[in-house]
Amino acid sequence: MNILAIETSCDETSLALIEAKGGLKAPKFNIKKHFIASQIEIHRAWGGVVPNLAKREHEKNLPLLFKKLEAKSYKLKANAIAVTVGPGLEPALWTGVNFAKEIKKKHFPKIYSERSRTTKIIGTNHLHGHMYSFLLPKSYKLKAISYPAVQLLVSGGHTILILMKSLTDYKKLGETRDDAAGEAFDKVARMLKLPYPGGPEIETLAKKGNPDAIDFPRPMIRDKNYDFSFSGLKTSVLYYLKANEAKSYKLKANVAASFQQAAIDVLITKTMRAAQEHNAKSIILSGGVAANSNLQKLMKLQAKSYKLNFLSANKKFQGDNAAMIAVAGYITHLRKKKYALKAKGSLSI
Ligand code: KG4
Ligand code: ZN
């Protein structure tokens, strides 16, 4: 089936047209069109995402991207529209939900008239988007996905460890009790006077620093649960910066590198322990923070040393995008799961 997907949960407006086939046994996706309009420059001036500005920009960008999509697809056919309903910023989510309803009414009865069935709208969970992003075109063969799998989903709003027995049979093992990993990267970046979003900035600055320079705490690393906590680590960075007034470039680079190492150590240690305790065959890494090349590299190495498959989307599909929403929409449709077509700020996996 052809799925037109819409993502507007935060500060990226994205549309995609994807052909999905294979069912739950062997899902396969062909990305026909995919556009992302980033609002980062607009929110940067405010040091973070401003919900009403995000709403305004989504409302401006959605029709522009849709025009582009239509222009590039000679015959735009969609059997379904997958739209993110949550979690995310409610004013931003509503723009996507309303746009889905609007285009279904305006365009699809006319454009897609081959069958009597009209295009349906699939309310889609943003977290499922990240969770299934590893299914987007990749070089590995699908048989590499052997279960059980332990997935670490690390984004700006969430840090979740998931045990997957199949694509649709999964449970949450643990999550953060305070800040999400991406949020900690963003907050530490702000302390270092780096622009928003902080994750990529920390990663770049960390390359010039020594990860062993400062012994920041690794919260909850030895706890016998799968929860995380990043607020103590963030506070330690704050105290360190207060105590070390001379903020030279070298000192900042050491702080970035040492903070990044501490956060990655916790994420990897807990993921690998969950994998061992649940006899996992695969490790899956997803979410915006999964774009961090150190995290990618070290997690991959660990997976290899335990002889586990390592699965993760290409970097361009780690951050928010509509392609992953099409994938999640397809699976939601196959599972016959239904979300109300209403923005839901908080929604769990
Ligand atoms: O998944 P995502 O795009 O949005 C949410 O659903 O939250 O994740 C955004 C988060 C931000 O906190 C951003 O700083 C972080 O992902 N991020 C990174 C990197 N690239 C993005 N964190 C660490 N290293 C990166 N290279
Ligand atoms: Zn996201």
Which pLDDT value is given to residue 263? 98
Which pLDDT value is given to residue 143? 60
Q: Is 182 in the pocket of ligand 1 (CB under 6 A)?
A: yes
Q: Which two tokens stand for residue 218?
A: 């690794």
Q: Is 343 domain-assigned?
A: no
Ligand 1 atom 10: residue of nearest CA: 156
**CATH code of the domain containing 119:** 3.30.420.40
Whether residues 152 and 274 fall in one domain: yes
Looking up tokens 């590299």 gives 297
Separation of CA 319 and ligand 1 centre (Å)? 6
The DSSP 8-state label assigned to residue 176 in this structure reads B
Whether residues 39 and 163 fall in one domain: no
Which pLDDT value is given to residue 245? 72
Whether residues 307 and 321 fall in one domain: no
Which pLDDT value is given to residue 116? 45
Domain enclosing residue 228, as ranges = 144-312
Ligand 1 atom 8: residue of nearest CA: 288
| CA angle at 329 for the pair 164 and 127, rounded to the nearest 5° | 50
Which pLDDT value is given to residue 281? 97
Domain count, the chain: 2
- Dihedral (CA of 191, 192, 196, 200) sign: negative
Strands (E), 120-204: 120-125, 149-154, 159-164, 170-175
Indicate which ligand has the atom closest to the C-alpha of 182: 1
Q: Is 342 domain-assigned?
A: no
Q: Is 86 in the pocket of ligand 1 (CB under 6 A)?
A: no
Whether residues 267 and 329 fall in one domain: no
Which pLDDT value is given to residue 145? 83
Which pLDDT value is given to residue 108? 75
Query: Of all atoms in ligand 1, which is nearest to the CA of residue 196?
Result: 14
Which pLDDT value is given to residue 105? 86
Query: Splitting the chain (349 residues) into consecutive groups of 10 residues, what average pLDDT does each group show?
Result: 96 96 91 94 90 96 95 76 98 98 81 56 97 83 82 97 97 98 97 95 98 97 96 96 85 97 98 98 98 98 96 95 98 95 96
Separation of CA 285 and ligand 2 centre (Å)? 13
